[in-house]
């Protein structure tokens, strides 16, 4: 990461993504102006974007994990997940329609979310520690989005673009994790017509969503920014993501956990809401 040239390229990539978000116009992939395909370069860009958002007054309330599906990892030529930051204004109440003009190229996926009751910063980070740190487990919908035109992304593009984060919705009920086996959770996502648009299971998320949480805990601690009590962690998709239609409504049912809903306005014109 050393050198003036690399620093200027990282800043240029961050500026491109910030401009795309602020102007509501998807941009060209940032990999074309970044050196190589290093994951660390992608996170360097993401870090600049995070700092810019914090400077605007936004607060970090959690993290999201992406690339938890082996098939998607193979598609992008990687062997590990990635992560991004959740800001306070990304959370959407499930009974308030999401304004479409907040988004560029939205897609939706059902996930299991963890709400942490303790830090994951010290000691042995194993499954027991991860489970003990979870205060609540809750069904969730992540509304992923990309500032890169046409979702023309590689691993570097998506990491730089805050892991293609958009918005998210937490469902009901919230319950303790305890010794729940999340691997066998079955997910069904239906639209307003009751048609199934996506399905999957807990085992599709790194074999077990708790594995995803553990990976994130270890990774963020290594990077000097460990997970903290109160944070929300979106653990990764349980099934294929689906393009969002204006005016649509989606409901995900996760066996043994509950349901989560999201609706979208048909208003796509104008600036940010």
Residue 3 maps to a domain? no
Residue reference for tokens 């997940």: 81
Q: What is the mean pLDDT of the chain?
A: 92
* Residue 254 forms part of a structural domain: yes
Q: What does the alpha-carbon distance between residue 102 and residue 5 come to, in Å, rounded to a whole number?
A: 34
Which of 182, 239, 171 shows the shortest CA–CA distance to 211?
Answer: 182
According to the model, what pLDDT value does residue 6 have?
A: 61
Q: pLDDT of 62-113, one tens digit each?
A: 999 999 987 677 766 777 899 999 999 999 999 899 999 999 999 999 999 9
CATH number of the domain encompassing residue 159 = 3.90.850.10
In a domain, 233, yes or no: yes
Residue 87 lies in a domain: yes
Tell which residue, 214, 133, 142, 229, has the closest CA to residue 177: 133
Using CA atoms, how far apart are residues 120 and 23, in angstroms rounded to an integer? Answer: 37
Q: What residues of the chain score a pLDDT lower than 70?
A: 1-6, 71, 75-76, 268-273
Whether 47 is in a domain gets the answer yes
According to DSSP, residue 238 is labeled: S
Report yes or no on 141 lying in a domain: yes
Q: How far is 260 from 251, CA to CA, in rounded Å?
A: 6
The kind and range of the H/E element at 17 are helix 4-23
The per-residue pLDDT for 79 is 76
> Can you give the pTM of this predicted structure?
0.92
100 assigned to some structural domain: yes
Structural domain that includes position 67? 8-265
Q: Of 99, 84, 77, nearest to 50 (Cα)?
A: 84
Using only the alpha carbons of the chain, give its radius of gyration.
18
Q: What total of structural domains would you count in the chain?
A: 1
Q: Are 21 and 147 in contact (CB under 8 A)?
A: yes
How many Å apart are CA 201 and CA 211, to the nearest integer?
14
The whole-number pLDDT of residue 69 equals: 81
Are 71 and 217 contacting, i.e. CB atoms less than 8 angstroms apart? no
Q: Give the residue carrying structure tokens 């553990």.
A: 214
Q: Supply the pLDDT for residue 75.
A: 65
Domain assignment present for 270: no
């Amino acid at each position: 990461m050393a050198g003036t040239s690399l620093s200027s390229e990282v800043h240029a990539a961050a500026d491109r993504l910030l401009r795309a978000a602020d102007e509501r116009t998807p941009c060209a992939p940032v990999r074309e102006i970044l050196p190589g395909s290093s994951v660390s370069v992608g996170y360097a860009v993401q870090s600049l974007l995070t700092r810019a958002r914090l400077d605007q007054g936004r607060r970090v309330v959690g993290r999201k994990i992406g690339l938890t599906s082996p098939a998607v990892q193979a598609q992008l030529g990687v062997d590990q997940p990635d992560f991004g930051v959740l800001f306070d204004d990304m959370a959407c109440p499930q009974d308030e329609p999401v304004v479409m003009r907040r988004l560029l190229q939205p897609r939706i996926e059902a996930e299991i979310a963890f709400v942490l009751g303790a830090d994951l910063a010290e000691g042995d980070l194993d499954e027991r520690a991860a489970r003990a740190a979870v205060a609540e487990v809750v069904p969730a919908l992540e509304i992923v989005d990309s500032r890169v035109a046409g979702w023309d992304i590689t691993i570097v593009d998506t990491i730089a673009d805050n892991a293609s984060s958009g918005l998210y919705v937490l469902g009901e009920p919230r319950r303790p994790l305890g010794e729940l086996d999340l691997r066998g959770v079955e997910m069904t996502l239906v639209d307003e017509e009751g048609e199934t648009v996506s399905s999957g299971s807990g085992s599709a998320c790194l074999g077990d969503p708790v594995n995803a949480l553990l990976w994130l805990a270890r990774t963020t601690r290594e990077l000097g920014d460990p997970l903290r009590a109160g944070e929300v962690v979106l653990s990764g998709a349980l099934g294929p993501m689906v393009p969002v239609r204006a005016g649509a409504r989606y409901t995900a049912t996760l066996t043994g956990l509950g349901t989560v809903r999201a609706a979208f306005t048909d208003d796509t014109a104008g600036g940010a809401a």
